[in-house]
Structure 1
Amino acid sequence: ASIDTPDAATVVFHLSQPDVPILTAMSDVNAAIVPAAEIKAGSIGTKAVGSGPFKLDKWDPNAKEVLSANKDWAGGATGVDGIEISVLPDEAAILAAMRTKQIDFALLNDPLVATLVPKEPTLQLNRVPVLAYHVLQLNPSRKPMTELKVRQAISCAIDRQEVLDTASLGEGKVTGPLTIPALATDPT
Protein backbone atom coordinates (compact mmCIF):
# COMPACT_ATOMS: atom_id res chain seq x y z
CA ALA A 1 0.00 0.00 0.00
CA SER A 2 1.15 3.51 -0.76
CA ILE A 3 0.02 7.08 -1.37
CA ASP A 4 0.98 9.20 -4.39
CA THR A 5 0.47 12.92 -4.99
CA PRO A 6 0.87 13.38 -8.75
CA ASP A 7 0.03 17.09 -8.51
CA ALA A 8 -0.88 19.72 -5.90
CA ALA A 9 -4.61 18.92 -6.09
CA THR A 10 -4.56 15.11 -6.33
CA VAL A 11 -3.93 12.27 -3.92
CA VAL A 12 -3.98 8.61 -5.00
CA PHE A 13 -4.30 5.76 -2.51
CA HIS A 14 -2.92 2.38 -3.61
CA LEU A 15 -4.54 -0.12 -1.25
CA SER A 16 -3.27 -3.61 -0.50
CA GLN A 17 -6.85 -4.89 -0.66
CA PRO A 18 -10.28 -3.53 -1.63
CA ASP A 19 -11.78 -1.18 0.96
CA VAL A 20 -15.35 -0.32 -0.02
CA PRO A 21 -16.15 2.08 2.86
CA ILE A 22 -12.92 4.10 2.56
CA LEU A 23 -14.63 7.15 1.03
CA THR A 24 -17.26 7.20 3.77
CA ALA A 25 -14.58 6.81 6.44
CA MET A 26 -12.48 9.58 4.91
CA SER A 27 -15.41 11.99 4.76
CA ASP A 28 -15.53 12.05 8.56
CA VAL A 29 -13.89 14.81 10.58
CA ASN A 30 -11.43 12.27 12.01
CA ALA A 31 -9.90 11.90 8.54
CA ALA A 32 -9.56 15.63 7.83
CA ILE A 33 -6.44 16.66 5.95
CA VAL A 34 -4.49 19.10 8.10
CA PRO A 35 -0.98 20.56 7.91
CA ALA A 36 1.70 18.36 9.50
CA ALA A 37 3.01 21.41 11.37
CA GLU A 38 -0.31 21.74 13.20
CA ILE A 39 -0.14 18.11 14.31
CA LYS A 40 3.45 18.55 15.53
CA ALA A 41 2.49 21.75 17.37
CA GLY A 42 -0.35 19.94 19.12
CA SER A 43 -2.83 22.63 18.15
CA ILE A 44 -5.40 20.39 16.44
CA GLY A 45 -8.76 21.03 18.08
CA THR A 46 -7.60 24.24 19.76
CA LYS A 47 -7.58 26.63 16.80
CA ALA A 48 -9.15 26.80 13.38
CA VAL A 49 -7.39 25.01 10.53
CA GLY A 50 -9.08 24.72 7.17
CA SER A 51 -9.59 25.86 3.62
CA GLY A 52 -13.37 26.04 3.37
CA PRO A 53 -15.74 28.83 2.37
CA PHE A 54 -15.42 30.67 5.72
CA LYS A 55 -12.63 31.76 8.07
CA LEU A 56 -13.00 31.64 11.84
CA ASP A 57 -12.61 35.17 13.23
CA LYS A 58 -13.71 34.58 16.82
CA TRP A 59 -14.47 31.48 18.87
CA ASP A 60 -15.81 31.42 22.39
CA PRO A 61 -16.84 27.77 22.89
CA ASN A 62 -19.54 28.73 25.40
CA ALA A 63 -20.96 31.74 23.56
CA LYS A 64 -20.47 32.04 19.81
CA GLU A 65 -18.43 31.59 16.67
CA VAL A 66 -17.95 34.41 14.17
CA LEU A 67 -17.00 33.48 10.62
CA SER A 68 -16.19 35.65 7.60
CA ALA A 69 -16.21 34.72 3.94
CA ASN A 70 -12.92 33.22 2.75
CA LYS A 71 -12.12 35.26 -0.35
CA ASP A 72 -9.43 32.72 -1.30
CA TRP A 73 -11.78 29.72 -1.23
CA ALA A 74 -11.48 27.61 -4.39
CA GLY A 75 -15.28 27.23 -4.55
CA GLY A 76 -15.90 30.91 -5.31
CA ALA A 77 -18.01 33.54 -3.58
CA THR A 78 -20.17 32.40 -0.67
CA GLY A 79 -23.02 34.87 -1.18
CA VAL A 80 -22.77 36.21 2.39
CA ASP A 81 -20.11 38.25 4.15
CA GLY A 82 -20.18 36.16 7.28
CA ILE A 83 -22.04 34.00 9.76
CA GLU A 84 -22.45 34.24 13.52
CA ILE A 85 -23.26 30.99 15.31
CA SER A 86 -24.68 31.39 18.81
CA VAL A 87 -24.18 28.73 21.47
CA LEU A 88 -27.33 28.59 23.56
CA PRO A 89 -27.79 26.49 26.71
CA ASP A 90 -30.89 24.55 25.65
CA GLU A 91 -33.66 24.39 23.10
CA ALA A 92 -36.00 26.58 25.17
CA ALA A 93 -33.35 29.33 24.93
CA ILE A 94 -33.07 28.70 21.20
CA LEU A 95 -36.82 29.12 20.76
CA ALA A 96 -36.77 32.32 22.86
CA ALA A 97 -33.94 33.72 20.70
CA MET A 98 -35.93 32.91 17.56
CA ARG A 99 -39.04 34.62 18.96
CA THR A 100 -37.06 37.81 19.64
CA LYS A 101 -35.24 37.65 16.27
CA GLN A 102 -31.81 37.32 17.90
CA ILE A 103 -31.13 34.37 15.58
CA ASP A 104 -32.35 33.61 12.06
CA PHE A 105 -32.61 29.82 12.17
CA ALA A 106 -31.92 26.89 14.44
CA LEU A 107 -31.88 23.13 14.59
CA LEU A 108 -34.34 21.77 17.12
CA ASN A 109 -33.88 18.18 18.19
CA ASP A 110 -36.40 18.14 21.04
CA PRO A 111 -39.76 17.27 19.50
CA LEU A 112 -41.63 18.90 22.39
CA VAL A 113 -39.96 22.25 21.68
CA ALA A 114 -40.48 21.80 17.94
CA THR A 115 -44.25 21.42 18.48
CA LEU A 116 -44.32 25.01 19.80
CA VAL A 117 -42.96 26.51 16.56
CA PRO A 118 -46.16 26.25 14.45
CA LYS A 119 -47.97 28.29 17.13
CA GLU A 120 -45.59 31.21 16.49
CA PRO A 121 -46.86 33.47 13.67
CA THR A 122 -43.36 34.69 12.71
CA LEU A 123 -41.65 31.29 12.73
CA GLN A 124 -41.68 28.41 10.27
CA LEU A 125 -40.94 24.77 11.05
CA ASN A 126 -39.24 22.68 8.37
CA ARG A 127 -38.94 18.96 9.03
CA VAL A 128 -35.92 17.21 7.61
CA PRO A 129 -34.95 13.57 7.94
CA VAL A 130 -31.83 12.70 9.87
CA LEU A 131 -29.34 9.97 9.13
CA ALA A 132 -29.58 8.48 12.60
CA TYR A 133 -31.27 5.74 14.49
CA HIS A 134 -31.74 4.77 18.12
CA VAL A 135 -31.20 1.23 19.27
CA LEU A 136 -31.48 -0.75 22.48
CA GLN A 137 -28.65 -3.25 22.60
CA LEU A 138 -28.58 -6.07 25.11
CA ASN A 139 -25.31 -7.62 26.24
CA PRO A 140 -25.77 -11.36 25.64
CA SER A 141 -22.65 -12.21 27.66
CA ARG A 142 -24.19 -11.18 31.01
CA LYS A 143 -26.99 -12.86 32.90
CA PRO A 144 -29.93 -12.88 32.39
CA MET A 145 -29.26 -11.81 28.79
CA THR A 146 -27.33 -15.04 28.18
CA GLU A 147 -30.73 -16.71 27.83
CA LEU A 148 -32.19 -16.43 24.33
CA LYS A 149 -35.74 -16.67 25.70
CA VAL A 150 -35.12 -13.63 27.95
CA ARG A 151 -33.87 -11.55 25.02
CA GLN A 152 -36.82 -12.67 22.89
CA ALA A 153 -39.27 -11.82 25.68
CA ILE A 154 -37.81 -8.32 26.02
CA SER A 155 -37.98 -7.86 22.26
CA CYS A 156 -41.63 -8.94 22.20
CA ALA A 157 -42.55 -6.80 25.22
CA ILE A 158 -41.33 -3.52 23.76
CA ASP A 159 -44.00 -1.54 21.93
CA ARG A 160 -41.72 0.14 19.43
CA GLN A 161 -44.43 2.44 18.08
CA GLU A 162 -45.24 3.63 21.61
CA VAL A 163 -41.56 4.33 22.25
CA LEU A 164 -41.36 6.33 19.01
CA ASP A 165 -44.60 8.20 19.74
CA THR A 166 -43.47 9.04 23.28
CA ALA A 167 -39.80 9.85 22.72
CA SER A 168 -40.05 11.51 19.30
CA LEU A 169 -43.74 12.44 19.06
CA GLY A 170 -44.09 9.97 16.21
CA GLU A 171 -41.32 11.54 14.12
CA GLY A 172 -39.48 8.59 12.63
CA LYS A 173 -39.98 5.03 11.54
CA VAL A 174 -40.10 1.84 13.57
CA THR A 175 -37.52 -0.70 12.46
CA GLY A 176 -36.09 -3.92 13.72
CA PRO A 177 -34.87 -6.33 14.63
CA LEU A 178 -32.29 -5.60 11.93
CA THR A 179 -31.01 -2.11 11.20
CA ILE A 180 -32.63 -0.59 8.13
CA PRO A 181 -30.46 0.48 5.20
CA ALA A 182 -29.02 3.93 5.85
CA LEU A 183 -26.11 6.09 4.73
CA ALA A 184 -23.40 3.78 6.03
CA THR A 185 -25.30 0.48 5.86
CA ASP A 186 -27.22 0.58 2.56
CA PRO A 187 -25.83 -2.24 0.40
CA THR A 188 -26.77 -0.43 -2.83
Structure 2
Amino acid sequence: MADDVVKRNDPARRQRIVDATLEAIAQYGVTGTTHRRIAAIATVPLGSVTYYFATLDALITTAFMQLAEQSSHDFAARMAKATDRDTAKDAIIDIIAGSVWATPRTLLLSYELYAFAARHPSVAAVMRGWMANSRAALERYFDPLTSRALDALVEGIGIHNSIDDRPLGPDAIRTIVERITDSR
Protein backbone atom coordinates (compact mmCIF):
# COMPACT_ATOMS: atom_id res chain seq x y z
CA MET A 1 0.00 0.00 0.00
CA ALA A 2 2.78 2.46 0.87
CA ASP A 3 4.37 1.82 -2.58
CA ASP A 4 1.10 2.81 -4.28
CA VAL A 5 1.08 6.12 -2.40
CA VAL A 6 4.68 6.84 -3.41
CA LYS A 7 3.94 6.06 -7.07
CA ARG A 8 0.83 8.25 -7.12
CA ASN A 9 2.67 11.12 -5.45
CA ASP A 10 5.88 10.78 -7.44
CA PRO A 11 7.37 14.31 -7.46
CA ALA A 12 9.77 13.43 -10.29
CA ARG A 13 7.05 12.07 -12.61
CA ARG A 14 6.53 15.30 -14.57
CA GLN A 15 10.27 15.61 -15.22
CA ARG A 16 10.49 11.96 -16.27
CA ILE A 17 7.71 12.63 -18.76
CA VAL A 18 9.57 15.63 -20.22
CA ASP A 19 12.81 13.63 -20.42
CA ALA A 20 10.95 10.72 -22.02
CA THR A 21 9.50 13.11 -24.58
CA LEU A 22 12.98 14.09 -25.72
CA GLU A 23 13.91 10.42 -25.89
CA ALA A 24 10.79 9.64 -27.94
CA ILE A 25 11.59 12.52 -30.30
CA ALA A 26 15.17 11.25 -30.66
CA GLN A 27 13.89 7.75 -31.46
CA TYR A 28 10.80 8.49 -33.56
CA GLY A 29 10.93 12.15 -34.57
CA VAL A 30 8.25 14.66 -33.62
CA THR A 31 5.75 13.12 -36.01
CA GLY A 32 6.24 9.65 -34.49
CA THR A 33 6.08 10.83 -30.89
CA THR A 34 2.84 9.86 -29.19
CA HIS A 35 1.42 9.97 -25.68
CA ARG A 36 1.72 6.16 -25.54
CA ARG A 37 5.37 6.12 -26.54
CA ILE A 38 6.20 8.83 -24.02
CA ALA A 39 4.35 6.98 -21.25
CA ALA A 40 6.16 3.74 -22.08
CA ILE A 41 9.59 5.40 -22.07
CA ALA A 42 8.82 7.26 -18.83
CA THR A 43 7.31 4.09 -17.31
CA VAL A 44 4.21 5.97 -16.18
CA PRO A 45 0.52 5.32 -16.82
CA LEU A 46 -0.78 6.93 -20.01
CA GLY A 47 -3.12 9.13 -17.96
CA SER A 48 -0.13 10.72 -16.22
CA VAL A 49 1.07 12.22 -19.48
CA THR A 50 -2.23 13.95 -20.14
CA TYR A 51 -2.58 14.89 -16.47
CA TYR A 52 0.55 17.03 -16.60
CA PHE A 53 0.21 18.29 -20.18
CA ALA A 54 -3.07 19.25 -21.83
CA THR A 55 -1.81 18.57 -25.36
CA LEU A 56 1.02 16.74 -27.06
CA ASP A 57 2.18 20.08 -28.53
CA ALA A 58 2.41 21.55 -25.02
CA LEU A 59 4.53 18.60 -23.90
CA ILE A 60 6.78 18.73 -26.95
CA THR A 61 7.19 22.49 -26.49
CA THR A 62 8.17 21.99 -22.84
CA ALA A 63 10.67 19.31 -23.81
CA PHE A 64 12.21 21.49 -26.50
CA MET A 65 12.42 24.41 -24.07
CA GLN A 66 14.36 22.16 -21.72
CA LEU A 67 16.68 21.09 -24.55
CA ALA A 68 17.31 24.71 -25.52
CA GLU A 69 17.97 25.78 -21.93
CA GLN A 70 20.37 22.88 -21.30
CA SER A 71 22.21 23.37 -24.58
CA SER A 72 22.45 27.11 -23.97
CA HIS A 73 23.76 26.48 -20.46
CA ASP A 74 26.38 23.98 -21.69
CA PHE A 75 27.52 26.39 -24.41
CA ALA A 76 27.78 29.31 -21.97
CA ALA A 77 29.57 27.17 -19.38
CA ARG A 78 32.22 26.15 -21.91
CA MET A 79 32.62 29.74 -23.13
CA ALA A 80 32.88 30.94 -19.52
CA LYS A 81 36.11 28.97 -19.16
CA ALA A 82 37.73 31.23 -21.75
CA THR A 83 39.96 33.93 -20.37
CA ASP A 84 40.88 35.75 -23.58
CA ARG A 85 40.23 35.73 -27.31
CA ASP A 86 42.54 32.77 -27.98
CA THR A 87 40.98 30.57 -25.30
CA ALA A 88 37.57 31.64 -26.59
CA LYS A 89 38.58 30.26 -30.00
CA ASP A 90 39.65 27.04 -28.27
CA ALA A 91 36.25 26.89 -26.60
CA ILE A 92 34.45 27.27 -29.93
CA ILE A 93 36.54 24.49 -31.44
CA ASP A 94 35.78 22.31 -28.42
CA ILE A 95 32.07 23.06 -28.72
CA ILE A 96 32.07 22.09 -32.39
CA ALA A 97 34.48 19.14 -32.34
CA GLY A 98 33.91 17.96 -28.80
CA SER A 99 30.89 16.76 -26.94
CA VAL A 100 29.49 20.10 -25.80
CA TRP A 101 26.88 20.44 -28.54
CA ALA A 102 27.46 18.11 -31.44
CA THR A 103 26.55 14.79 -29.86
CA PRO A 104 24.49 12.59 -32.20
CA ARG A 105 21.45 12.78 -29.90
CA THR A 106 21.59 16.56 -29.49
CA LEU A 107 22.02 17.05 -33.22
CA LEU A 108 19.06 14.80 -33.97
CA LEU A 109 16.93 16.66 -31.44
CA SER A 110 18.11 19.97 -32.90
CA TYR A 111 16.94 18.96 -36.37
CA GLU A 112 13.55 18.14 -34.93
CA LEU A 113 13.52 21.36 -32.90
CA TYR A 114 14.21 23.53 -35.95
CA ALA A 115 11.42 21.88 -37.94
CA PHE A 116 8.98 22.15 -35.02
CA ALA A 117 9.95 25.79 -34.38
CA ALA A 118 9.27 26.66 -38.02
CA ARG A 119 5.61 25.78 -37.41
CA HIS A 120 5.21 26.89 -33.79
CA PRO A 121 5.92 30.59 -33.07
CA SER A 122 6.30 30.04 -29.31
CA VAL A 123 9.09 27.55 -29.93
CA ALA A 124 10.67 29.86 -32.50
CA ALA A 125 10.88 32.40 -29.66
CA VAL A 126 12.72 29.79 -27.57
CA MET A 127 15.14 29.28 -30.45
CA ARG A 128 15.75 33.02 -30.71
CA GLY A 129 16.50 33.07 -26.98
CA TRP A 130 18.96 30.21 -27.38
CA MET A 131 20.71 32.06 -30.22
CA ALA A 132 20.78 35.28 -28.21
CA ASN A 133 22.37 33.47 -25.25
CA SER A 134 25.00 31.87 -27.48
CA ARG A 135 25.80 35.17 -29.12
CA ALA A 136 26.03 36.94 -25.76
CA ALA A 137 28.59 34.36 -24.61
CA LEU A 138 30.57 34.86 -27.81
CA GLU A 139 30.35 38.67 -27.65
CA ARG A 140 32.55 38.67 -24.58
CA TYR A 141 35.42 38.13 -27.04
CA PHE A 142 34.12 38.94 -30.53
CA ASP A 143 32.12 41.70 -32.19
CA PRO A 144 28.38 41.03 -32.80
CA LEU A 145 28.71 40.14 -36.48
CA THR A 146 31.59 37.73 -35.86
CA SER A 147 29.65 36.24 -32.95
CA ARG A 148 26.68 35.65 -35.20
CA ALA A 149 28.91 33.94 -37.79
CA LEU A 150 30.51 31.77 -35.11
CA ASP A 151 27.12 30.80 -33.71
CA ALA A 152 26.00 29.69 -37.18
CA LEU A 153 29.32 27.90 -37.67
CA VAL A 154 28.87 25.88 -34.48
CA GLU A 155 25.54 24.51 -35.61
CA GLY A 156 26.40 24.31 -39.30
CA ILE A 157 29.58 22.29 -38.94
CA GLY A 158 27.91 20.08 -36.35
CA ILE A 159 25.07 19.35 -38.73
CA HIS A 160 27.36 18.77 -41.70
CA ASN A 161 29.75 16.58 -39.70
CA SER A 162 26.85 14.42 -38.54
CA ILE A 163 26.13 13.27 -42.09
CA ASP A 164 29.38 13.86 -43.96
CA ASP A 165 31.46 10.79 -44.80
CA ARG A 166 34.56 12.94 -44.18
CA PRO A 167 33.70 15.16 -41.19
CA LEU A 168 35.95 18.09 -40.38
CA GLY A 169 38.38 17.45 -37.57
CA PRO A 170 39.63 19.88 -34.93
CA ASP A 171 42.51 21.17 -37.08
CA ALA A 172 40.25 22.07 -40.01
CA ILE A 173 37.73 23.61 -37.62
CA ARG A 174 40.51 25.66 -36.03
CA THR A 175 41.52 26.97 -39.49
CA ILE A 176 37.95 28.04 -40.20
CA VAL A 177 37.53 29.68 -36.77
CA GLU A 178 40.83 31.53 -37.25
CA ARG A 179 39.74 32.79 -40.66
CA ILE A 180 36.43 34.06 -39.32
CA THR A 181 37.83 35.65 -36.17
CA ASP A 182 40.96 37.16 -37.67
CA SER A 183 39.37 38.93 -40.63
CA ARG A 184 38.53 42.54 -39.92
Give the TM-score normalised by the residue count of structure 2.
0.28
Instruction: Flag the structure with more relative contact order, 1 or 2, with Cα contacts below 8 A and sequence separation at least 6.
Output: 2
Give the TM-score normalised by the residue count of structure 1.
0.27
Per residue, is there more strand in 1 or in 2? 1
Per residue, is there more helix in 1 or in 2? 2
